[in-house]
Structure 1
C-alpha cells in the first residue's frame, strides 16, 4: 500500500469513528448514558485491544485537550451570555471558586484517612476530581431544558471551576511539596492567574465586540473564523502574561454572548459545532491514554469507586452547599445543583498532568481519577433525569428547529423585539389588534406557534408559548415586557 492509500485509509477510519460518535447521541437519548462516556470507553477499549494503536505522547495529549478546552469554554461563555451571568454571578463565582476548594479539601482528607495516600498526592488527586462538566448533565437530560437559575449555575460553575482546577493543579505541581512556603507560593500564583485571566478576558471580550461591529469582512464565512482566531489569541496572550488563559476565553465568551453583532447566529452555530467536535476529540484522545490493566487493579478501582460515591453524596453537597448557603434558591433547584456536579474531561486532563510531572504512583493516581469520572458519568449521570423528575424541576422540551425564516439587512436593525407569550400573561389570549391598543404604536410582523407560522391579522389570537416578533420604538419596550411576562399572581404560584 502506497503513502496515498495509507493516508486515505487513516482519513476513512477517523471520519467513520467521528460519524459513529455523532450518531451515538441518538443512542444516549434511550440509554441515558452520556456520549462522552461512550467515546472515552471506546478509545480505552481500542487502545487496549489493538496493539498497533499506541497512545499519543503525553505532551501531545495535553496540547490537544488544551485547544479542545479553549473551544468548549468559549462556546460555554457565549451560551451563558452577560445577562444570564449577571443574574447568577454570586452563586457561579461562589460555587466555582469556594466550592471547588472545599471539594478538593474534603476529597483529600477522605483519600488520606481512608486509603493512606500521602497528603501531597491526596491533594493532587482531589484537585483533579474537583471540577465539573455541565455538558455531561445536559447530555443525559436530552432535549429537556431546565428552567430557573439551576441550569445557569451549573454551566457557570463549570466554566469557573475548570480554570480554577487547572490553575490550582499547576501551582501545586510547581510547589513540589506541602510546606508553608509552598502554600504561599500556590496562593500567590493562583491569585495572579485568576486576576490576570479575568481582566484580560473582560477587556478582550469588549475589544472583540468592537472589532466585529466596526471592521466588516468580505464574506460571512470569515466572521466565525475571526472570533475563533481572537479566542485562541486571548488564550495565548493571557498564558504568556502568567494568567489563566482558560478563564480569559470563558469570560470573553460571556461578554459577547448575548451582545448584538453582525452574523451573530452564524458565529454562535459555528462555535457550538466546534465545541461539540472538540468534546468528542478530547474524550477519544483521553480514552487512548487509559490502561485498563491499571484500572482493574484493586488499589485503583476500589479507591476510585469509594471516592466517586463519597464525592456525589457527601463531599460535594456539603462543600457546594456551604458555598451557596447565602444564595436564595428554591429547595428543589438547590438540591439539583448539589447533586448534578458531574465530572468530565478536565479531571482526566488534570490526572494526565500528574503523569507528565512524573509524581510518585502517577499511573495509579491517574487510574483513580479515570474511575471517579466513569462512576460520576455512568452512575450519577444516569440518575440525573430521575432526580430532576423527583424534584419536580420546571423543565421544557427543546425540540430541534432546523428551518429558519428571516431576512438579511445591510445595517443593524433597531426597534425589533422577539418576545414569548408567557402562560397567564396579559398577552395570553389577546388579539393582535387589542395588543396594539394596549402597547401603543407597534407592528406584529411574525407569530410562531408550535414551530409553525401563523397568519398575522387583526383578529389573530395570541396563545401561551407563542413567539412574537414585534416592531416598536424603544420607549415601548417596558410596556411590552409587562404584557408578555407572567402576572404577579402567576409568579407567586
Structure 2
C-alpha cells in the first residue's frame, strides 16, 4: 500500500478511537456527575502535550471544525425548545441573552483590566469570551434528570442566544483597530446590531422557507429528509454570514421555527440532528483541547490568573448581573438562585479565545490559557455541584424518559392534523386526574396513554400520572386552542 493510504488509515483509526472513547466516557459522566465535555476537553489537552504531532493542527482548521459543529449544536438546541415553548419566555430569554451578555462581558473586562493588568482592549476581549454559557454541560451534569418548567426553558434559551451574541460582540471589538473611544463604541454597536438584526431576520425567513420546502418536497427515501434539513441549516448559516449577520443566531432561530410544526419524518429528523449535535459536541471539545499546551501555563501564569477570573466570573459577575436583570421576570426565589449559579461555560468561550489568538492580539496566548482554566473550573467544579444546587433550590426536575428502542409508528400520506402529544407534568391539572374527569373542551379527547413504556387504553377510571405521555386528538388547530390544551398537562 502507498504511504498516503497508510496515513489515511491512521487518521481514520485515531478519529474512530476518539469517538469510541468519548462514547465510553458518558457512563462515567453519569456516575461522577462530572459533565462529559470536561473529559473530552481535558483528555485532548493532556494527549496533545504527550503527542506533539497533534499540536501541529492549524488553529484555523480547528475553528472551522468547531464552527460546523456549533451549527448543528445550536440547530438542535433551537429545535429542542420549539417555537410554542420558546415564545412564552422569548422576552425574558432575549433580555438575558442580549443585555446579560453585554453587561457580563463589560464587567469581566473591567475586572480583568483592574486586577490582572490587561490593557482595555484585551481585557474586553477576555470578558466577551467568558460571557456565553453552555446548557449542554448543565444537562450532562444532571444525568438522567431534566429541568422542567420555565427554568429549563430560560436556561436553554439564554445559552442559545448568548452564544451568537458573544460571537457578534467579539467580531465588533476585534475590528476596533486604532479608533478613538467614541468611534470604537459606535463601531462595536453598529457591528453588533447588524449581526443580531440580520441573523434574526435570516433565521425567521430561512426557517419558514425550510419549513415550506420540507412540507412540499418529494424525496425517494426518509433519510434524505434529514439531509435536506441539515443542508437547509447550512445554507441559512451561510446566507446570514455572507450578509454580515450572525449565522449562529440564524440557525438557532431556524431550529425553533421548524420544530413541532408538522414536517414529514419529523421524529427521524429530530433523532438525526440530536446525533449530529452529540457528535458536534465531542468534535468541538476534543478539537479545542488539542489547541491547548498545558506545559506553557506556568510561563503564562495562567493557573493563578485563571483561578481569579473563574471566581469572579462564576461567583460574582454572573450572579450580580442576572440578579438585576431577573427582577421583572416572574420566578420563585429558588429558581432565580439556580439561574444565577447554573451558567456553565463550554466550547464557545474557548472558540472565541482562539479568534483572539488568530486576531494577532499581543496578549492572545495569555487570554486563551486563562479562558481554558475558567472553562475547566466551571465544568469540573460548578458542573459537579449542579444536581445538589437544583435540589437545594427546589428546581423541578423530572427523570428523563428511558430509552425505548422499539418504536410503534403509523405513516400517513398527508400531515395528520389534529394529533398532539404531551407529557403530564407533576402538579399539572391532569396529574392524578381521571381521564373522564378532566374538563377538556368537547372537541378534544385522549386517544392513547403511554406509561413506563407500556401502552394504556384510556377508560373510565384510568388515572393519569406525572410522566405519562398522552396522545390527544382534536379538530381545532389554532395556536391559542393548542396552548389551552397544553395547560392541562404542563405547569408552565
What TM-score, normalized to structure 1? Answer: 0.93
- Shift, 1:301, TM fit: 1.4
Residue matched to 2:343: 341
Q: Could you list the per-position Cα deviations for residues 405-428 of structure 1 after superposition, in whole angstroms to 9, with x for gaps in the alignment?
A: 221111111232334455566656
Q: Could you list the per-position Cα deviations for residues 298-331 of structure 1 after superposition, in whole angstroms to 9, with x for gaps in the alignment?
A: 6211111111111111100111222222111111
* Partners of 1:39 and 1:284 within 8 A in 2: yes
- Shift, 1:50, TM fit: 1.3
CA distance, structure 1, for counterparts of residue 258 and residue 396 of structure 2: 28
Residue matched to 1:175: 176
Q: From 406, 411, 417, give the equivalent of 1:408.
A: 411
- Shift, 1:91, TM fit: 1.6
- Shift, 1:215, TM fit: 1.8
* Partners of 1:427 and 1:435 within 8 A in 2: no
Residue matched to 2:319: 317
- Shift, 1:183, TM fit: 1.3
* Partners of 2:65 and 2:284 within 8 A in 1: yes
Gaps spanning 5+ residues in structure 1: where? Answer: none
Q: From 272, 275, 283, give the equivalent of 1:273.
A: 275
- Shift, 1:46, TM fit: 1.1
**Helix, strand or coil: the match of 2:421?**
strand
* Partners of 1:422 and 1:484 within 8 A in 2: no
Q: Could you list the per-position Cα deviations for residues 358-410 of structure 1 after superposition, in whole angstroms to 9, with x for gaps in the alignment?
A: 11122111101111111111111111111111112111100323232221111
In the alignment of these two chains, the number of paired residues is 486
- Shift, 1:297, TM fit: 3.7
- Shift, 1:154, TM fit: 1.1
Superposed, 1:64-213 pairs within 5 Å as 64-177=65-178, 179-213=181-215
- Cα–Cα, structure 1 residues 394 and 437, in superposed 2: closer, same or farther, change >3 Å? closer
Superposed, 1:42-53 pairs within 5 Å as 42-53=43-54
Q: From 294, 297, 302, give the equivalent of 2:296.
A: 294
- Cα–Cα, structure 1 residues 10 and 412, in superposed 2: closer, same or farther, change >3 Å? same
- Shift, 1:444, TM fit: 4.7
* Partners of 1:102 and 1:320 within 8 A in 2: no
Gaps spanning 5+ residues in structure 2: where? Answer: none
CA distance, structure 1, for counterparts of residue 325 and residue 57 of structure 2: 39
Residue matched to 2:263: 261
CA distance, structure 1, for counterparts of residue 218 and residue 413 of structure 2: 11
* Partners of 1:416 and 1:470 within 8 A in 2: yes
Q: Could you list the per-position Cα deviations for residues 311-360 of structure 1 after superposition, in whole angstroms to 9, with x for gaps in the alignment?
A: 11110011122222211111111111110111000100110011101111
* Partners of 2:422 and 2:489 within 8 A in 1: no
* Partners of 1:72 and 1:279 within 8 A in 2: yes
CA distance, structure 1, for counterparts of residue 276 and residue 381 of structure 2: 28
* Partners of 2:431 and 2:489 within 8 A in 1: no
**Helix, strand or coil: the match of 2:62?**
helix
Residue matched to 2:60: 59
- Shift, 1:158, TM fit: 1.0
CA distance, structure 1, for counterparts of residue 297 and residue 57 of structure 2: 19
* Partners of 1:425 and 1:485 within 8 A in 2: yes
- Shift, 1:437, TM fit: 10
CA distance, structure 2, for counterparts of residue 313 and residue 116 of structure 1: 21
- Cα–Cα, structure 1 residues 328 and 445, in superposed 2: closer, same or farther, change >3 Å? closer
Residue matched to 2:452: 450
CA RMSD in angstroms comes to 2.4
CA distance, structure 2, for counterparts of residue 385 and residue 7 of structure 1: 43
* Partners of 1:294 and 1:363 within 8 A in 2: no
- Cα–Cα, structure 1 residues 50 and 417, in superposed 2: closer, same or farther, change >3 Å? closer
**Helix, strand or coil: the match of 2:321?**
helix
CA distance, structure 1, for counterparts of residue 57 and residue 483 of structure 2: 59
CA distance, structure 2, for counterparts of residue 383 and residue 437 of structure 1: 41
CA distance, structure 1, for counterparts of residue 486 and residue 108 of structure 2: 48
Superposed, 1:342-361 pairs within 5 Å as 342-361=344-363
* Partners of 2:446 and 2:470 within 8 A in 1: yes
- Shift, 1:483, TM fit: 9.4
**Helix, strand or coil: the match of 2:41?**
helix
What TM-score, normalized to structure 2? Answer: 0.93
- Shift, 1:478, TM fit: 7.2
Pair 1:228-2:230 in alignment? yes
Residue matched to 1:364: 366
Residue matched to 2:9: 8
* Partners of 2:448 and 2:458 within 8 A in 1: no
CA distance, structure 2, for counterparts of residue 323 and residue 391 of structure 1: 19
**Helix, strand or coil: the match of 2:218?**
coil
- Shift, 1:127, TM fit: 0.8
Residue matched to 1:474: 476
- Shift, 1:467, TM fit: 2.5
- Shift, 1:429, TM fit: 6.0
- Shift, 1:9, TM fit: 3.0
